[in-house]
């Protein structure tokens, strides 16, 4: 990838948190599984509330997938099955190669993704709304971006630019 003597990392794998990153809820708290598609084709939770992701998310995931990035999620939500169900109903499963949903420290999610994918932390990016997760996963060498109001095209584009800026120096 590097055209000069400077080394340059390639961005290979992008990992997203779920709650308040891909959708505006804590999926074990604000909404409740099981989820299903209602007759009006909206996704609803067990109480009949409509469940939506942040508006840019479907296009962002489709676009990143199309560009050849490997995609994954790392979530600490205790309702693992509910989250998997939502990812499936939103149609995101087809883009996500690694789905790590465990109520443990996110170090472990990333260790698992690294082991399964063979991709080094320096060639991964992470988006999450939690400052502590950003601090911790940054310390592993993953370029980690704090998401303030959910994933948008702008947040991801800016994040990828930051990755290349940080990783083209050495
Ligand atoms: Mg979150």
pLDDT in tens, 90-126: 999 999 999 999 998 999 999 999 999 999 999 999 9
Tell me how far apart the alpha carbons of residues 101 and 137 are, in angstroms, rounded to a whole number.
16
CB 123, CB 13: distance < 8 Å: yes
User: In the predicted model, what is the mean pLDDT of the chain?
Assistant: 93
Smallest Cα–Cα separation from 129: which of 23, 29, 30, 20? 20
Q: Is 17 a catalytic residue?
A: yes
Residues, beta carbon < 5 Å, ion ligand 1: 17, 19-20, 129
Strands 96-101 and 36-37: unpaired
Question: How far does residue 119's CA lie from ligand 1's centre (Å)?
Answer: 23
pLDDT at res. 122: 96
Model confidence over 68-95: pLDDT tens digits? 999 999 999 999 999 999 999 999 999 9
Question: How far does residue 7's CA lie from ligand 1's centre (Å)?
Answer: 33
Topology classification of domain 13-25+53-167: Rossmann fold (3.40.50)
Question: How far does residue 5's CA lie from ligand 1's centre (Å)?
Answer: 39
Tell me how far apart the alpha carbons of residues 149 and 104 are, in angstroms, rounded to a whole number.
24
Rounded to whole angstroms, what are the CA distances from 53 to 20, 43, 92, 112, 117? Answer: 9, 10, 11, 26, 27
Tell me how far apart the alpha carbons of residues 144 and 142 are, in angstroms, rounded to a whole number.
6
CB 120, CB 143: distance < 8 Å: no
Name the active-site residue from 17, 45, 79, 129: 17
User: Is residue 4 predicted with pLDDT exceeding 90?
Assistant: no
Q: Is 19 a catalytic residue?
A: yes
């Amino acid at each position: 990838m590097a055209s000069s003597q400077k080394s340059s990392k390639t961005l290979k794998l992008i990992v997203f948190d779920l709650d308040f990153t891909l959708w505006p809820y804590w999926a074990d708290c604000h909404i409740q599984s099981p989820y299903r598609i209602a007759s009006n084709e909206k996704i609803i939770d067990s109480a009949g509330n409509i469940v939506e992701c942040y508006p840019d998310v479907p296009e962002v995931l489709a676009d990143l997938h199309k560009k050849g990035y490997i995609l994954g999620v790392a979530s600490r939500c205790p309702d693992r099955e509910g989250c998997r169900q939502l990812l499936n109903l939103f149609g995101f499963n087809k883009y996500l190669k690694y789905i790590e949903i465990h109520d443990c420290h996110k170090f472990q999610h990333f260790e698992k993704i690294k082991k399964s994918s063979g991709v080094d932390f320096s060639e991964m990016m992470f988006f999450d709304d939690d400052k502590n997760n950003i601090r911790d996963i940054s310390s592993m060498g993953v370029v980690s971006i704090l998401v303030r109001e959910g994933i948008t095209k702008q947040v991801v584009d800016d994040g990828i630019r930051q990755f290349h800026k940080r990783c083209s120096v050495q």
